[in-house]
Amino acid sequence: MIHLLRNVHVYAPEDLGNCHVLVAAGKVVAISHEVPHIEPSLLTTDQDYAGKKLIPGLIDGHAHITGGGGETGFSSKVPAVHLSEYTQAGVTTVVGLLGTDDLTRSTSSLVAQVYALRESGLSAYCYTGGYHIPLTTLTGSVKSDIVHIEPILGVGELAISDHRSSQPTFDEVARIAGDAHVAGLMTGKAGIVHFHLGDGDRGMDLINDLLQQTEIPARVLNPTHCNRKKVLFDQACQLTRLGCYIDVTAFPVAEDEDGLTAADAFKQFKANGFPPDKFTISSDGGGCLPHFDAQGELLHMDFGRNLALSETLKELLDAGLATDQVLPAFTSNVAKLLRLNTKGQVKVGLDADLVILDTEHQIQDVMAMGQWHRKNHQTLIYGGFETNK
């Protein structure tokens, strides 16, 4: 398939101005200020976008692709996320993981769902393990999973500072992080440990201990949900000065909650001058969003939606923040952390994962690996078992 996108304002994520973009064989093959010379009969699609913004496809680095939940019994397990739920949010690459339920859900089923999404045209990867130690693995070890199973990028989401965790010790986590790092060196993969942070008082203590007492590089230690408490976010921001990437979750925050929305966290991070390349935003799509009392009793529960990612992007752009400063948290920063070298940018030779924003900063068109999944706000490609075709 060959596609010509005329007169798009390209944010790659850097601002390239008004350009014409040619896509062929799933790759971006030309970005130019002059219309590429190509026989019109060869074009699958040819559209003039009249200056609308073209951005890289969003990378959702934390999603429960097989579903999450289960904190209130088996009936509370969230089902797997449908293909169109990703593309409606402008997500063209997703990283799946296991959470609280790493027993009835497995790394095996996670890898299988990665392959299913790939067969449907989406780029997908995953982590091995889950909340608890011993980790749920496919081959019996973290190092072997990362080395031998191509889609597995690292370990996640390993829970700390949470009553639902296995209360891991320093030595246990240090060994896991060391194995992940070495496996990353052997393969060129990310080799990171993606930490679920609960709202416990210990906060980032374990990560700080690892930085101070081991030789494990800071980039290996990647905390998420850092915006669930304001004090936790303050701790996380300091980690970025040491080389850690931090991830915030695009979940709803009530007025009486001690937390920050992803948009507010981004604004605060930027205003305080922390390293802009060490900040990412993910959706927790398909995962549960429970609220517990001091005794660990569930008060109420919602679940994460991938659309929260595009809604956060819109909120930031609507607030007047510069597009090229906002986009990296959803695209190139994630790709750099995860070592996804063909993702996160609009660049000749890289994968044609592209999103067109309408004039209100909503997701209009979505191309994944050179194939249109959405056009004019309408889904063109659905997953095999979606009921709303």
- Give catalytic residue positions: 284
196 is in an annotated binding site: yes
d(CA 2, CA 28): 10
Q: What is the C-alpha separation between 159 and 247, in angstroms, rounded?
A: 14
Name the H helices within 158-306: 170-187, 205-213, 230-240, 262-271
* Contact status, residue 159 vs residue 165, Cβ threshold 8 Å: yes
Residue 9 labelled as part of a binding site: no
SS3 143: helix
> What's the rounded Cα separation, in Å, for the pair 208 and 140?
28
User: Is 62 annotated as ligand-binding?
Assistant: yes
Q: Would you say 284 is a known binding-site residue? A: yes
Q: Which of 129, 219, 142 is nearest to 186 (CA)?
A: 142
- Rounded-to-integer distance, Cα 183 and Cα 166, Å: 24
d(CA 203, CA 214): 19
Q: Cα torsion for 310, 315, 320, 326, to the nearest 10°?
A: -40
Please check if 361 is assigned to a binding site: no
Distance CA 353, CA 343 (A): 8
> Residues annotated in the binding site, as ranges?
62, 64, 196, 225, 284
> Residues annotated in the binding site for Zn(2+), as ranges?
62, 64, 196, 225, 284
